[in-house]
Amino acid sequence: MNGYFVGVDIGASYTKCVAIDEKEETLRFAVTQTGFDFEESARKVFDEVSKGLNGKALQVCSTGYGRKNVEFANLNKTEIACQSIGCFKEFGVEASIVDIGGQDVKIIRIDVNGKRVNFKMNRKCAAGTGAFIEEIAFKIKIPVEKLEEIAQSATDEITLGSFCTVFTATEILAHIRGQTPLSKIVRGIFRSVAKRISEIDYFSERIVFTGGLSKKGSVLSKMIAEETGSEVFVPKHPQITCAYGAAIYAKETFRASSTPSAKD
Amino acid sequence: MAEEMKRKEIAATKEMKKLMAKHFYELDEAAKTKKQKIAWCTSVGPAEILRAMGFLVYFPENHGAILGATRKAMEYIPYANRIGYTPDICSYTTSDIGAYLKGETPLSKAYEGITCIPKPDVLAYNTNQCRDVLDWFSFYGREWKLPVVGISTPLSVGEITKEYIADVSGQMKALIKPLEGISGRKFDMDELKRVLALSLETTKLWKACLFTASAIPSPITFFDMTIHMGPAVVMRGTEEAVVYYKLLLSELQDRVKSKVSAVEGEINRLYWDGMPIWGKLREHSDFFSSLKSSIVASTYCNSWIFEAFDPDHPFDSMARAYTELFIVRTDEMKEQYITEMFKTFSCHGIIYHDSKTCPNNSNARYGMPQRLTQKTGIPHLIIQGDLNDLRLFSEEQAKTNIEAFIEGISER
């Protein structure tokens, strides 16, 4: 078969695209900021991924908040389903998937066969989401990517109690006024995210931690393990597991239905 | 990709609209001419007693639902917030009080000539729904210096004992004297029995309509039920309500015979617990239809089934009927009820609407979804929202949740 299968995940903050072959091996992937034109960002990552690949996209599955806005996709599926497929493919175990997205947190429980048992999302507020980290980073004028390094250097942390991002920022201001060291504050921010996540559901023995904030051995990853009592696993490419799952779904449904190839 | 789909319209809707128009025009005329006394009544309040004593009965909760469905609630809630009725309490209450403070009502747009809600002579409540109805009625009682009378029903009731019946029945009887004073009319037991018999007939017909949804495919869906329940709420105890539900039932039975489904290509059958999200009814109807999913049963619409009514024992039977309501019962009784409904309606899943400002109608806060899923194997989804205050509802998040939930059901 001369071609490949594509998953496009249009998230609230980033759009991700993965192309896989028949054996479900990742051929190429690309990530870009979503911005306000979902179709354009989807097309951008799709073109980037398609560049240099032999054959054509046989089937494209879109997922994520913007999944209905991808005109060139043959099918769409929710990010909850795609995340489950992608993570199960990589780890093949019963697990709770913790996906920290730009505007939500998802906890998806999958069984030993990769079947979804349950899923939960954060309630209405931003606490525990990527948006929370971004907002606080902005308030303390530290780039998000620097937070990890700062938190690593801390020996202690502050306690942030609020469910609300704005009120948390106020709590932080009080600590800044009290001359609390920055590293202690940043570590407290990560702890607050881990705590909010641990309150959403109960967890399997293993957690697969995905999303842009996921990193092996990171402060947040360790804190999620501490708060939940579970062992935390991080995928090879934690930001694209959902798009990868969508690509697998595209492949599986292509086989099952022999639908026409993707529009290009 | 799921396409937008509409549910199949019910022909009787036209008659229902006429009936509802008559209801509001009668009240409006009575308020203007003072020819007949008006009582405000909570939706599961002592309507039969009021009607039997010659009052025209107006239901503010129905007005609350109209404020939600027309999305006017969003405009009015802040007016109530400003005077101390906070965004955390019942948004029927805040939107209704807010509309009053602004001097508007959506009835004006729907019914030409009606400029305001009908001012009552008395407000009669039953706290079987919640305490907010008492606070709501008390606002108007103070505002207009009018009597507020009512019944305080015990809550979290397990078995309905004779003590409960005696308590509530006694409170109902105690209403007679003050109501006689207000209406200027002597209480007539035969009239109460006549009204109660009509209420019983209405409620039986309404139940029969709802239970046609046990057919596969279902001829009716939650989004029809929430509209067609209007006469069961505001006109129970009248001949017209009986006539209307006979008409509706006949149409639904015809649909069942011909296997006509409300949701074309129905695949998934769901139970809805909690209040509707009134401002999103149409969108939700289309959304569920596009997912080939029919909401075939609900706690909410079933709450106006009062089978215990017995015209031979009016007070005791009303006390029983208005106390054995789902909302008044213990979680154990509620779980038994929903489990039964799962079987009757062949449900594949249950959606709990956790309505922020309506805790009494939200059953997802004390572990019930988890317990019921464990017991029945029927999967659940909890969505956060509100009956009227759309600031408390995240459309995109809810849609993703619902779509993923239905995907999961389909894969089972």
Q: Which of B374, B380, B397 to mutate to test the interface with A (most CBs of A within 10 A)?
A: B397
Tens digit of each residue's pLDDT (9 = 90 or more) over A29-45 = 999 999 989 999 999 99
Residues of A in contact with B396 (CB under 8 A): 65
Residues on A contacting B at a C-beta cutoff of 8 Å: 65, 68, 73, 75-81, 104, 115-116, 118-121, 123-124
The C-alpha atoms of residue A251 and residue A22 are separated, in whole angstroms, by 7
Distance, in angstroms, between B408 CA and closest chain A CA?
7
The rounded Cα A239 to chain-centroid distance in angstroms is: 5
Q: Counting beta carbons within 10 angstroms of the beta carbon of residue B387, is it exposed (0 to 12), middle (13 to 18) or buried (19 or more)?
A: buried
Band of residue A258 on the pLDDT scale cut at 50, 70, 90: low
Write out the two tokens for A246: 């969508």
Output b/e per residue, B362-377; b: 16+ Cβ within 10 A: bbbeeebbeebeeebe
Band of residue A264 on the pLDDT scale cut at 50, 70, 90: very low
| CA B61-B59-B23 angle, 5° bins | 125
pLDDT score of B124: 98
Average pLDDT along chain B = 96
Band of residue B239 on the pLDDT scale cut at 50, 70, 90: very high
Using DSSP bridges, classify how beta strands B148-151 and B122-126 pair: parallel, antiparallel or unpaired: parallel
Helix or strand (DSSP H, E) at A18: strand A14-20
Output b/e per residue, A77-98; b: 16+ Cβ within 10 A: bbbbbbbbbbbbbbbebbbbbb
Residues of B in contact with A77 (CB under 8 A): 407
Tens digit of each residue's pLDDT (9 = 90 or more) over B257-301 = 999 999 999 999 999 999 999 999 999 999 999 999 999 999 999
Contact with chain A for residue B410, Cβ under 8 A = no
Helix or strand (DSSP H, E) at A58: strand A56-63
DSSP H stretches of helix in B12-131 = 13-33, 47-52, 60-69, 73-82, 91-102, 107-110
Averaged pLDDT for residues A146-168: 88
Q: Do A119 and B404 touch (CB under 8 A)?
A: yes
Write the DSSP symbol of residue A120.
E
| B332 occurs within a structural domain | yes
| B4 occurs within a structural domain | no
Averaged pLDDT for residues B338-344: 98
Given a cut of 70, whether residue B163 has pLDDT beyond it is yes
| B259 occurs within a structural domain | yes
| CA B3-B8-B14 angle, 5° bins | 135
Q: Which of A124, A249, A252 to mutate to test the interface with B (most CBs of B within 10 A)?
A: A124
Given a cut of 50, whether residue B369 has pLDDT beyond it is yes
pTM for the complete prediction? 0.92
pLDDT score of A124: 64
Residue of A nearest to B383 (CA): A123
Helix or strand (DSSP H, E) at A232: strand A231-233
Given a cut of 50, whether residue B178 has pLDDT beyond it is yes
What Rg value do the Cα atoms of chain B yield, rounded? 21
- Asked if residue B51 lies in contact with residue B60, where contact means CB atoms within 8 angstroms, the answer is no
Averaged pLDDT for residues B125-144: 96
Which residues make Cβ contacts (< 8 Å) with residue B159, sequence separation at least 6? none
Tens digit of each residue's pLDDT (9 = 90 or more) over A66-98 = 999 999 999 999 999 999 999 999 999 999 999
Q: Please tell me which of the candidates B1, B392, B396 has its beta carbon nearest to residue A76.
A: B1
Q: Do A80 and B394 touch (CB under 8 A)?
A: no
Q: Counting beta carbons within 10 angstroms of the beta carbon of residue A223, is it exposed (0 to 12), middle (13 to 18) or buried (19 or more)?
A: buried
Helix or strand (DSSP H, E) at B321: helix B314-323
Please choose, from the candidates B7, B6, B15, the residue with its C-alpha nearest in 3D space to the C-alpha of residue B251.
Answer: B15
The C-alpha atoms of residue B393 and residue B277 are separated, in whole angstroms, by 9
Contact with chain A for residue B392, Cβ under 8 A = yes
Conformation bin of residue B247: beta by default, left when phi > 0, alpha when psi is -120 to 50: alpha
- Crossing angle of the two packed helices B162-183 and B314-323, in degrees rounded to 10: 110
One-letter amino acid identity for A94?
E
Q: How many CB atoms lie within 10 A of CB B392?
A: 19
Q: Do A116 and B401 touch (CB under 8 A)?
A: no
- Domain that includes residue B237, residue range: 13-411
Write out the two tokens for B404: 């993923």
The C-alpha atoms of residue B196 and residue A165 are separated, in whole angstroms, by 54
pLDDT score of A263: 44
| B319 occurs within a structural domain | yes
- Asked if residue B274 lies in contact with residue B300, where contact means CB atoms within 8 angstroms, the answer is yes
Residues of B in contact with A121 (CB under 8 A): 397, 400-401
pLDDT score of A167: 84
Residues of B in contact with A81 (CB under 8 A): 404, 407-408
**Which residue has tokens 């609407």?**
B353
Distance, in angstroms, between B400 CA and closest chain A CA?
7
Partner A, chain B 328-367, Cβ-Cβ below 8 Å:
none
Size of interface A-B (CB pairs under 8 A): 36
Query: Which residues are A63's β-sheet partners?
Result: A9
Contact with chain A for residue B163, Cβ under 8 A = no
Q: How many CB atoms lie within 10 A of CB A131?
A: 19
Please choose, from the candidates B160, B157, B163, B131, the residue with its C-alpha nearest in 3D space to the C-alpha of residue B331.
Answer: B157
**Which residue has tokens 């597991």?**
A241
Counting residues of chain B whose pLDDT is more than 90, the rounded percentage is 96
Residues of B in contact with A252 (CB under 8 A): none
Residue A20 in 3-state DSSP?
strand
Averaged pLDDT for residues A159-164: 81
Counting residues of chain A whose pLDDT is more than 70, the rounded percentage is 95
Write the DSSP symbol of residue B145.
T
Q: Please tell me which of the candidates A73, A76, A116 has its beta carbon nearest to residue B408.
A: A116
Domains of chain A: 3-122+200-257 (3.30.420.40), 130-198 (3.30.420.40)
| Overall domain count for chain B | 1
Write the DSSP symbol of residue A245.
H
Q: Which of B4, B396, B403 to mutate to test the interface with A (most CBs of A within 10 A)?
A: B403
| B8 occurs within a structural domain | no
The C-alpha atoms of residue B125 and residue B134 are separated, in whole angstroms, by 6
Given a cut of 50, whether residue A1 has pLDDT beyond it is yes
The C-alpha atoms of residue A87 and residue B66 are separated, in whole angstroms, by 46
One-letter amino acid identity for B368?
M
Write the DSSP symbol of residue B117.
P
Write out the two tokens for A187: 């570590």
pLDDT score of B3: 53
| B244 occurs within a structural domain | yes
Which whole-number Å values give the CA distances from A228 to A8, A98, A202, A205, in the listed order?
Answer: 31, 11, 8, 9
Average pLDDT along chain A = 91
Given a cut of 90, whether residue B237 has pLDDT beyond it is yes
Q: Do A78 and B400 touch (CB under 8 A)?
A: yes
Using DSSP bridges, classify how beta strands A14-20 and A26-33 pair: parallel, antiparallel or unpaired: antiparallel
Given a cut of 80, whether residue A162 has pLDDT beyond it is no
pLDDT score of A160: 87
The C-alpha atoms of residue A259 and residue A237 are separated, in whole angstroms, by 29
Write out the two tokens for A225: 């393990």
Contact with chain A for residue B408, Cβ under 8 A = yes
Tens digit of each residue's pLDDT (9 = 90 or more) over B33-80 = 999 999 999 999 999 999 999 999 999 999 999 999 999 999 999 999
ipTM: 0.84
| CA B382-B323-B151 angle, 5° bins | 110
Helix or strand (DSSP H, E) at A117: strand A116-121
Given a cut of 70, whether residue B390 has pLDDT beyond it is yes
Write out the two tokens for B391: 């600031």
- Sheet containing B349-355: order of strands: B293-298, B268-273, B349-355, B380-385
